[in-house]
Amino acid sequence: MIDFPLTAFLNFSNLELVFFIVLVIPTIYVMVTGAPFIPTQMTQVDRMLKAAKLKPGMKVYDLGSGDGRLVYKAAKEYGCDATGYEYSPFVWLWSQFLARFFWKSKAKNHLGNLWKKDISDADVIVCYLMPHMMKQMQARIFPQLKPGTLIVSHAFSIPDLKTWKSLKRDPERRLGPVWIYKT
């Protein structure tokens, strides 16, 4: 039998402890309270952006932007002023790597808490958030939005809110449903 005392596990160096607190804890927090990082298929990203009828200069926010693929595509292909907010430091660092070497877009993907950002100037908000987060978004973010703002939700609907438009699940292409709401 191998003896593995708990004290050996808890014996972090200062640098390891800082790494754990700064990177790992927020990532675990997001996975439990928000949504896990599951990259959206580019086919689904295209489908969502087309459904939003984006035009150059529109202000687009992606809440829980993950690796930034949606904001980078909205900026590069549609000419939008696109900004993403990602809370997980690991995922955000990955997005910065992709932005520098692959996406090559003017979009911004910020590390930060989406609940503390002013997005009242949004023309379109895109999100992939768990159902309980969708309820929070409705209560906390909707009141600050201007009339006509579109909310494009991948995979999860906003309970008790009338859908303006929707895209059905496409099992052949393995694409989930999309709900679009209008303030």
Going residue by residue through the chain, which has 183 residues, state the pLDDT in tens, using 9 for 90 and above. 455 444 444 555 666 666 566 556 666 666 666 667 788 999 999 999 999 999 999 999 999 999 999 999 999 999 999 999 998 888 999 999 998 888 888 899 999 888 888 999 999 999 988 888 888 888 889 899 999 999 999 988 988 889 999 999 999 999 999 999 999
89, 90, 92, 93, 139 from 97: Cα distances, Å = 12, 11, 9, 6, 34
For residue 83, the SS3 value is: strand
Give, in degrees to the nearest 5, the angle at Cα 34 between 39 and 65: 40
Instruction: Answer yes or no: is 26 within a domain.
Output: no
Token digits of residue 105? 């877009």
Instruction: Answer yes or no: is 61 within a domain.
Output: yes
Instruction: Answer yes or no: is 119 within a domain.
Output: yes
CATH of the domain at 102: 3.40.50.150
- Its pTM stands at 0.82
Other beta carbons within 10 angstroms of residue 25's beta carbon come to 11
Helix 42-51 / helix 69-78 crossing angle, nearest 10 deg: 50
Instruction: Answer yes or no: is 12 within a domain.
Output: no
Instruction: Answer yes or no: is 37 within a domain.
Output: no
Instruction: Answer yes or no: is 11 within a domain.
Output: no
Instruction: Answer yes or no: is 112 within a domain.
Output: yes
Domain housing 165: 42-182
Count up the domains in the chain and report the number: 1
Q: What is the pLDDT of residue 158?
A: 87
Which runs of E-coded beta strand occur in 15-65? 59-63
Instruction: Answer yes or no: is 164 within a domain.
Output: yes
